[in-house]
Amino acid sequence: MDDKFAAVGEAMPRLLEGLRVTVELTILGAIAAFILAVILGLAAASPTKVWRIPARVIIEFFRGTSLVVQIFWFFFVLPLLGIDLHPLVAGVLALGLNYGAYAAEVVRGSIQSVPSGQWEATTALSLGPVQRMRRIIFPQAWALMIPSLSSLLIHLMKGTAIVGYITLADFTFQLDQVKRVSGTLFTYGIVGMLGYFLFALLLTLAMNLLERQAKHKLGQGTSLRRILSPAPAPTTRAGGIQ
């Protein structure tokens, strides 16, 4: 067992470099997916067909074709059409489009779940459509969508493990490189699982904090600052609405 740990210790710089690529892909992919999700989600929630129908087609297309197909298509087919993408760009694009399409459904659903009374109040106050979305509806939908976005983020992170096949040296790729020295089962079963799991936990934690903050802005729950402060937690206040 000791020699396995030693082998992993020796390979640590490689593994950390691989983890860095995985983290980078996850974060860039998530940013691309989020931007796309907001645009497509708003369009899909629009009452105007001119916006809604193209959004639906794009969403269904990228949800319906598998992530792996999209990654390989961007990597192998686009160069044939004269578009040469850096593998990292191809990876981020595929992750962004695939999970962006899933997340767009979350955005649309959350926007449409904001109670009708809120929409009516904006009409009664003569707010325009842009103000209504930006200042009233989206901030409330945001708190609703975070839990689903959080689980999509984990899916996206897990999906990055395929990028070794488009020449990106991510964590899974580096595990494959060191497995001969450190033993296959130890490498995948302990080092690999643990590495990904810890990253996933960190992502989940970050999303949970984001959700707390969003809910606090809606007057629900304690503030982030209070949770993170070293001072002892205040006694729970009675009558708070959860």
Partner 1 sequence: MMGIPAGLDWDWSTAADVLPTLLTQFLKVTLLVTALGTVIAAILGLVIAMAMRLAPRPIAAAVKWIANIIRMTPIIIQLLFAYYAFLSLDAITVGVIVFGIHYSTYMSEVYRAGIDAVPRGQWEATTALSMSMRRTWMAVIIPQALRATIPALGNYAISMFKDTPFLLVIGVVELVNAGLIYGGNTYRYIEPLTLVGIIFLLASYPTSLLIGRLEKRLAYNT
Partner 2 sequence: MIEFRDVEKAFGDNVVLHDLNFSVQQGDRVTLIGPSGSGKTTILRLVMTLEEATDGYIFVGGEPLTHEERGGKRVERSKKDQKRIRQRIGMVFQQFNLFPNMTVLENIIEAPVHVLGQSKAEAGEKARLLLDKVGLSDKADAHPTSLSGGQQQRVAIARALAMDPEILLLDEVTSALDPEIVGDVLAILRNIADTTDITMLIVTHEMQFARDVSNRVLMFDGGKIVEEAAPDVMFSSPKHQRTKDFLHAVLGDADGTIGTH
Query: Nearest distance from residue 132's CB to partner 2, in Å?
Result: 10
User: Of 50-69, which residues contact partner 1 (CB under 8 A)?
Assistant: 60-61, 63-69
Tokens describing residue 76: 């192998």
CB contact set of 17 (below 8 Å; sequence gap of 6+): 169, 174
- CB closer to partner 2, 80 vs 242: 242
- CB closer to partner 1, 136 vs 200: 200
Q: Which of 121, 201, 205, 227 binds partner 1 (CB under 8 A)?
A: 201
Q: Please, what is the angle between helix 171-182 and helix 2-45, to 10°?
A: 160
Stretch that binds partner 2, among 32-40, 123-131, 153-161, 225-233 (CB under 8 A): 123-131
How much is the CA Rg of the chain, to the nearest whole Å? 22
CB distance 216 to 240 below 8 Å: no
Q: Which of 6, 16, 54, 76 binds partner 1 (CB under 8 A)?
A: 76
Q: How far is it, in rounded angstroms, from Cα 128 to Cα 38? A: 19
Query: Nearest distance from residue 139's CB to partner 2, in Å?
Result: 4
The residue assigned the tokens 């990228």 is 62
Task: Please work out the total of residues on this chain that contact partner 1, with binding judged by CB under 8 A.
Answer: 41
Q: How far is it, in rounded angstroms, from Cα 110 to Cα 61? A: 21
Q: Would you tell me which residues interact with partner 1 (CB under 8 A)?
A: 60-61, 63-70, 72-73, 76-77, 79-82, 84, 154, 157-162, 165, 172, 175-176, 184-185, 188-189, 192-193, 196-197, 200-201, 204
